[in-house]
C-alpha cells in the first residue's frame, strides 16, 4: 500500500504541467490588445481600411478564448463611440500645426474557473501625435528658406520617427522638397531646414510633412511658416 | 498477569497506528507541497519574463521576420543560468513555426514546467502567435 502511494506521488511529481492562471492572463490580454490597436492604426493610416480594427480585435479575442483551458473565458470588447472617437478611431490628420490619430477600446473579461470567477474591465488607448511649426526667411528675391520644428508623441510621450517626407505649396500644387537637412535631437524633436523657390515669392510658405512614427503610424501635418 | 499482557498488546497497536499516520502524512503532504511551490514559481516566472520581453512587441517582431537566433538570444538573456528553457512558437492553428529548437544547452531535470504566452504582432500584417516556454532546473532530479 505504501509503495503504491509512493509511486503515485512520484508520477504526479514528474508530470509536466501547463499553468494558465487567469490572474497572469489579464495583463497579457491588455498588452496584446494594445499591440492590436497599434497594428490596426498602422494599417488604417496607410490603407484607410477602418474595418481592420474590429477584425483584428475579434481575431485576438478568439485566440484568447480558445487557448485558455483551465477556465471558461468570455471577452467583450467595445469600440469607443464617444467624441472624438468614432468606431474606436480618432483620426484628425491634415490639420494645421497638429495631427493626431488614435484608437480606443473598452473590454470586459470574465473568467470562470473550477474554484472562482473573476471579472476584469478596462480601457486601452493608443495615440500618435505630430506637432509642426516653422518660420521662413527670404534669402534672395526668388528663394525662401524654411526652418521647421517637428515633434512626435506616442501616448503623450516623445518618440522617434522612422521616416518623413516634406512638401511645400506652390500656387495650388503640392511639390516635394527635394533637398532638406534634418537634425534629430533624439527626444522626438526634429529640425528641418530647406530652401525652395515659389512662383509668387510674396506668398506665405505652406509646408506639409508626412511622418511615419516607429510604430508604423502614418500622419500628415501642415503649417504656414511665419516670416522672420 | 493476563490483564498486563493484554495492555502491552494494546500499546503496540496504538504505536503501530501512530507510525502509519506519521508515514502517510510524510508521503502524502510533503512531496505534494514541494511540487506545487516549484510549479507555480516556474510558470509564473516564465510568463512574467515573456510579458516583459514583449512589452513593446519585440518578441512578435522577431517572429514576424523569422529571426530565430535573435529570439533565442533574447529569451536566453532573461533566463537565469540555473534554468533550462525550450521555446516553441506556434501559429494561430497551433502549428509549430520555428524550424529548429530554441533552447539552452545543459542537462535537464525530470520536472519541466510549461507556460503559454500569446503575442500579437505590431506591424500592419496582423498575426497572433503562441509562445510556449518550457522551464526546468539544470541537471537536478
Quick one: pLDDT band at residue A2, thresholds 50, 70, 90? Answer: low
- A102: in domain: yes
Do the Cβ atoms of B118 and A67 come within 8 Å? yes
Q: What average pLDDT score do residues A197-202 get? A: 88
Instruction: Find the CATH number of the domain harbouring A181.
Output: 2.60.40.1930
% of chain A residues with pLDDT over 70: 89
First and final C-alpha spacing in chain A: 95
Would an 8 Å CB–CB cutoff place B22 in contact with chain A? no
Do the Cβ atoms of B123 and A40 come within 8 Å? no
Q: What average pLDDT score do residues A34-45 get? A: 93
Would an 8 Å CB–CB cutoff place B2 in contact with chain A? no
Same domain, A168 and A84: no
How many structural domains comprise chain A? 2
Selecting from A6, A35, A42 the residue whose C-beta is nearest the C-beta of B124 gives A42
Q: What average pLDDT score do residues B60-81 get? A: 93
* Residue after which a domain boundary falls, among A105, A126, A147: A126
- A120: in domain: yes
CA distance B8 to chain A (A): 26
Identify the pLDDT of residue B43.
83
Q: What average pLDDT score do residues A181-195 get? A: 95
Which residues make Cβ contacts (< 8 Å) with residue A142, sequence separation at least 6? A197, A198, A201
Selecting from A14, A21, A24 the residue whose C-beta is nearest the C-beta of B111 gives A14
Selecting from A5, A28, A52 the residue whose C-beta is nearest the C-beta of B28 gives A5
Inform me whether the pLDDT recorded for A84 exceeds 80. yes
- A7: in domain: no
Identify the pLDDT of residue B30.
59
Identify the pLDDT of residue B75.
94
Lowest mean pLDDT among A1-5, A15-19, B67-71: A15-19
- A159: in domain: yes
Q: Residues of A with CB below 8 A from B90's CB? A: none
Grid cell of B42 as nine digits: 516556474
Q: Give the residue from A221, A222, A220, A223 showing the smallest Cα distance to A45.
A: A220
* Residue after which a domain boundary falls, among A85, A111, A126: A126
Round to whole Å and give the CA distance between A188 and A186. 6
CB B86 within 8 A of CB B134: yes
E strand or H helix at B33: helix B2-53
- Cα–Cα distances (Å) from B73 to A28, B51, B68, B79, in that order, read 22, 16, 9, 10
Identify the pLDDT of residue B37.
46
**DSSP class of A86:** B
Would an 8 Å CB–CB cutoff place B26 in contact with chain A? no
CA distance A224 to chain B (A): 32
Q: Residues of A with CB below 8 A from B43's CB? A: 17-19, 21
- A114: in domain: yes
Q: What is the number of CB-based contacts under 8 A between chain A and chain B?
A: 105
Same domain, A117 and A102: yes
Q: What average pLDDT score do residues A191-204 get? A: 92
pLDDT in tens, B4-49: 556 668 888 888 888 888 878 777 765 555 554 444 468 888 989 9
Q: What average pLDDT score do residues A186-198 get? A: 94
Same domain, A58 and A121: yes
* Residue after which a domain boundary falls, among A126, A148, A181: A126
Same domain, A35 and A57: yes
Same domain, A113 and A135: no
Lowest mean pLDDT among A16-20, A65-69, A106-110, B43-47: A16-20
Its pTM stands at 0.79
Round to whole Å and give the CA distance between B131 and A92. 37
CB A128 within 8 A of CB A180: no
Domain that residue A56 falls in: 19-126
Letter string b/e over residues A167-192, b meaning 16 or more CB atoms within 10 A of that residue's CB: bbbbeeeeeebeebeeeeeeebebeb
Identify the pLDDT of residue A106.
96
- Cα–Cα distances (Å) from A137 to A134, A181, A221, A225, B75, in that order, read 10, 16, 21, 9, 53
Round to whole Å and give the CA distance between B113 and B45. 10
Quote the mean pLDDT of chain B.
Answer: 83
Which residues make Cβ contacts (< 8 Å) with residue B37, sequence separation at least 6? none
pLDDT in tens, A211-227: 999 999 999 999 999 98
Write down the domain spans for chain B: 40-138
Enumerate chain A positions whose Cβ falls within 8 A of a Cβ in B: 2, 5-6, 9-10, 12-14, 16-21, 24, 27-28, 31-33, 35-36, 38-40, 42-43, 46-47, 52, 56, 59-60, 63-64, 67, 215-216
pLDDT in tens, A105-160: 999 988 887 777 888 999 999 999 999 999 999 988 889 999 999 999 999 999 99
Same domain, A140 and A89: no
Q: Residues of B with CB below 8 A from A63's CB? A: 92, 118, 128, 130
CB A64 within 8 A of CB A71: no
Nearest-by-CA chain A residue for B44: A24
Amino acid at each position: 500500500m505504501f509503495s503504491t502511494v509512493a509511486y503515485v506521488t512520484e508520477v504526479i511529481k514528474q508530470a509536466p504541467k501547463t499553468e494558465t492562471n487567469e490572474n497572469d492572463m489579464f495583463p497579457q490580454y491588455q498588452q496584446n490588445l494594445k499591440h492590436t490597436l497599434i497594428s490596426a492604426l498602422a494599417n488604417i493610416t496607410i490603407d484607410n481600411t477602418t474595418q481592420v480594427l474590429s477584425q483584428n480585435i475579434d481575431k485576438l479575442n478568439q485566440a484568447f478564448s480558445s487557448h485558455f483551458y483551465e477556465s471558461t473565458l468570455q471577452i467583450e470588447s467595445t469600440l469607443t463611440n464617444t467624441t472624438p472617437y468614432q468606431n474606436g478611431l480618432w483620426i484628425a490628420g491634415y490639420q494645421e500645426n497638429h495631427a493626431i490619430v488614435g484608437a480606443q477600446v473598452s473590454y470586459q473579461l470574465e473568467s470562470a474557473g473550477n474554484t472562482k470567477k473573476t471579472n476584469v474591465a478596462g480601457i486601452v488607448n493608443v495615440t500618435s501625435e505630430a506637432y509642426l511649426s516653422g518660420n521662413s526667411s527670404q534669402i534672395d528675391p526668388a528663394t525662401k528658406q524654411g526652418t521647421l520644428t517637428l515633434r512626435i508623441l506616442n501616448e503623450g510621450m516623445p518618440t522617434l520617427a522612422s521616416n518623413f517626407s516634406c512638401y511645400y505649396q506652390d500656387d495650388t500644387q503640392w511639390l516635394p522638397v527635394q533637398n532638406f537637412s534634418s537634425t534629430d535631437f533624439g527626444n522626438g524633436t526634429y529640425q528641418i531646414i530647406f530652401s525652395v523657390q515659389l512662383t509668387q515669392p510674396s506668398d506665405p510658405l505652406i509646408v506639409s510633412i508626412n511622418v511615419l512614427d516607429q510604430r508604423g503610424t502614418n500622419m500628415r501635418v501642415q503649417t504656414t511658416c511665419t516670416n522672420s | 498477569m493476563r490483564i498486563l499482557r493484554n495492555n502491552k498488546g494494546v500499546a503496540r497497536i496504538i504505536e503501530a497506528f501512530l507510525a502509519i499516520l506519521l508515514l502517510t502524512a510524510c508521503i502524502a503532504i510533503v512531496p505534494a507541497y514541494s511540487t506545487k511551490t516549484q510549479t507555480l514559481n516556474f510558470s509564473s516566472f516564465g510568463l512574467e519574463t515573456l510579458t516583459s520581453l514583449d512589452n513593446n512587441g519585440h518578441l512578435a517582431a522577431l517572429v514576424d521576420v523569422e529571426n530565430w537566433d535573435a529570439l533565442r538570444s533574447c529569451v536566453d538573456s532573461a533566463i537565469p543560468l540555473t534554468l533550462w528553457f525550450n521555446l516553441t512558437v506556434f501559429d494561430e492553428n497551433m502549428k509549430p513555426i520555428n524550424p529548429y529548437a530554441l533552447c539552452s544547452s545543459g542537462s535537464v531535470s525530470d520536472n519541466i514546467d510549461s507556460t503559454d504566452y500569446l503575442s500579437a504582432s505590431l506591424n500592419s500584417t496582423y498575426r497572433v502567435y503562441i509562445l510556449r516556454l518550457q522551464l526546468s532546473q539544470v541537471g537536478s532530479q
